[in-house]
């Protein structure tokens, strides 16, 4: 038993330390995702080491240090996404008035043929903007009924699991589909103009994840996030960036995006709201996101019911309240962060000026 616990603890230590490297190969970056699962395993191993009586107290102490150290390190990364941490985005109070925006993002899963579930959910929640990804021509045809209530539609059906459609009740101007780092991976960039005259720059992303079946490394995903992040940093109008980022909220890549963009994350201090994988509770993490400018505070944040996809839809309602929002704290971007961002962009020859800035 001691040999088995030693082997498992050694493997746990290896998987915990792997993401510390700057290696971007999928078999390293993938261990950014299951930090909750690795924390659970670390605590179970620590308990097992303490439960059994072994005639090697020094070795047992070493295993306890390893397992509890791994648990503490994993907790360090996920703690901001628990209800114990400080909220980064302030809760809107009942007496605060202003323009609201309801955003729903849903990875529909291209082979999924339960479009009726998504249509019913949209009818129930009535978002102002629906961002649907992995949409092909079949999905475009079956989401056609939405156009009665959502007259502004951006269409990019694709058969490669990277199609994208945006449906909006709010007026859309200066919309553009771009292929920023890969000619097969679209993103949508548009200007929302509300009835009150508020202009919001909306960017919808679905970069390719590092995985054995899609991309050998995370370079394209990380570069797209940095490119968009640096593009929106200096905008003088509110910004929302949303989509299936194929990256967990607590990863180094997403933290870098938040730092260079100056945007904030309503999940921080509220919970993980894990959206993937809908069918496997133990293998679940937050991949679908809504990040936004400090000018917004939060009215509602929910993971919505399953629509037959491997992702749950994600819903955020924001209130435009710049006076209260100005008090919110964004992540600090250091010179090292800027240097890392430049290195990431240089690997794909990208630049923030390549990103469409709607309204300019």
What integer pLDDT is reported at residue 55 of this predicted model?
Answer: 67
Q: Which two tokens stand for residue 317?
A: 């309602």
- Residue 241: inside a domain, yes or no? yes
What integer pLDDT is reported at residue 89 of this predicted model?
Answer: 98
- Residue 252: inside a domain, yes or no? yes
- CATH number of the domain to which 153 belongs: 3.60.10.10
- Residue 202: inside a domain, yes or no? yes
Q: Which two tokens stand for residue 157?
A: 């059906």
73 and 193 co-located in one domain: no
- Residue 91: inside a domain, yes or no? no
10 and 111 co-located in one domain: no
What integer pLDDT is reported at residue 291 of this predicted model?
Answer: 98
Domain of 39, in residue numbers = 2-81
112 and 73 co-located in one domain: no
162 and 245 co-located in one domain: yes
- Residue 127: inside a domain, yes or no? yes
Q: Quote the number of domains for the chain.
A: 2
- Residue 90: inside a domain, yes or no? no
131 and 266 co-located in one domain: yes
Helix (H, G, I), strand (E, B) or coil at 178: strand
72 and 120 co-located in one domain: no
194 and 245 co-located in one domain: yes
Q: Domain boundary at 26, 52, 81, which?
A: 81
75 and 150 co-located in one domain: no
Peptide bond into 132 cis (omega under 30): no
- Residue 59: inside a domain, yes or no? yes
Dist CA 44 CA 221 (whole Å) = 33
What integer pLDDT is reported at residue 60 of this predicted model?
Answer: 82
What integer pLDDT is reported at residue 216 of this predicted model?
Answer: 76
43 and 155 co-located in one domain: no
Q: pTM for this one?
A: 0.95
Mean pLDDT by groups of 10 residues along the chain of 360 residues: 87 91 83 95 92 73 93 97 97 95 98 98 98 98 98 98 98 98 97 98 95 80 97 95 97 96 98 97 96 98 98 98 96 97 94 95
Buried b (16+ CB within 10 A) or exposed e, 123-158: eebebbbbbbbbbbebbbebbeebeeebebbbebbb
The residues pairing with 289 across neighbouring beta strands, listed in sequence order, are 243
What integer pLDDT is reported at residue 162 of this predicted model?
Answer: 98
137 and 248 co-located in one domain: yes
145 and 28 co-located in one domain: no
Q: Domain boundary at 25, 49, 81, which?
A: 81
341 and 220 co-located in one domain: yes
- Residue 67: inside a domain, yes or no? yes
Q: Domain boundary at 81, 111, 126, which?
A: 81
Side-chain-side CA neighbours of residue 122 (13 Å):
27
C-alpha distances (whole Å) from 284 to each of 51, 276, 279, 359 are: 29, 5, 9, 37
Helices and strands in the chain, H and E counts: 10, 11
């Amino acid at each position: 038993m001691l040999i088995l616990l030693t082997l498992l603890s050694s493997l746990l230590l290896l998987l915990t330390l792997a993401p510390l490297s700057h290696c971007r190969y999928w078999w390293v970056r993938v261990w950014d995702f299951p930090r909750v699962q690795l924390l659970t395993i670390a605590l179970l191993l620590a308990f097992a080491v303490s439960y059994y009586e072994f005639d090697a107290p020094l070795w047992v102490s070493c295993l306890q240090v390893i397992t509890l150290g791994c648990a503490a390190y994993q907790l360090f990364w996920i703690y901001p996404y628990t209800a114990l941490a400080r909220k980064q985005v302030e809760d809107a109070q009942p007496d605060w008035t202003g323009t609201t925006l309801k955003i729903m993002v849903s990875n529909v899963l291209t082979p999924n043929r339960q479009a009726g579930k998504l249509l019913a959910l949209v009818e129930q929640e009535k978002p102002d903007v629906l961002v649907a990804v992995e949409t092909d021509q079949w999905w475009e045809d079956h989401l056609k009924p939405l156009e009665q209530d959502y007259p502004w539609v951006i269409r990019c059906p694709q058969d490669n699991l990277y199609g994208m459609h945006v449906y909006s009740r709010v007026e859309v101007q200066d919309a553009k589909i771009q292929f920023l780092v890969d000619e097969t991976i679209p993103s949508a960039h548009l200007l929302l103009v509300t009835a009150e005259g508020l202009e919001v720059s909306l960017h919808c992303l679905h970069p390719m994840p590092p995985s054995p079946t899609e991309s050998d490394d995370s370079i394209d995903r990380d570069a797209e996030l940095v490119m968009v992040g640096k593009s929106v940093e200096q905008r003088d109008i509110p910004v929302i960036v949303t989509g299936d980022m194929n990256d967990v909220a607590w990863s180094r890549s997403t933290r870098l995006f938040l730092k260079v963009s100056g945007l904030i994350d309503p999940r921080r201090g509220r919970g993980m709201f894990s959206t993937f994988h809908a069918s496997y509770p133990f293998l679940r993490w937050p991949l679908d996101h809504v990040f936004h400018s400090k000018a917004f505070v939060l009215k509602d944040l929910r993971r919505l019911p399953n629509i037959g996809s491997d992702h749950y839809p994600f819903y955020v309602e924001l209130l435009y309240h710049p006076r209260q929002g100005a008090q919110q704290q964004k992540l600090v971007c250091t010179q090292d962060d800027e240097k890392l961002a430049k290195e990431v962009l240089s690997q794909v020859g990208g630049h923030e000026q390549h990103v469409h800035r709607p309204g300019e």
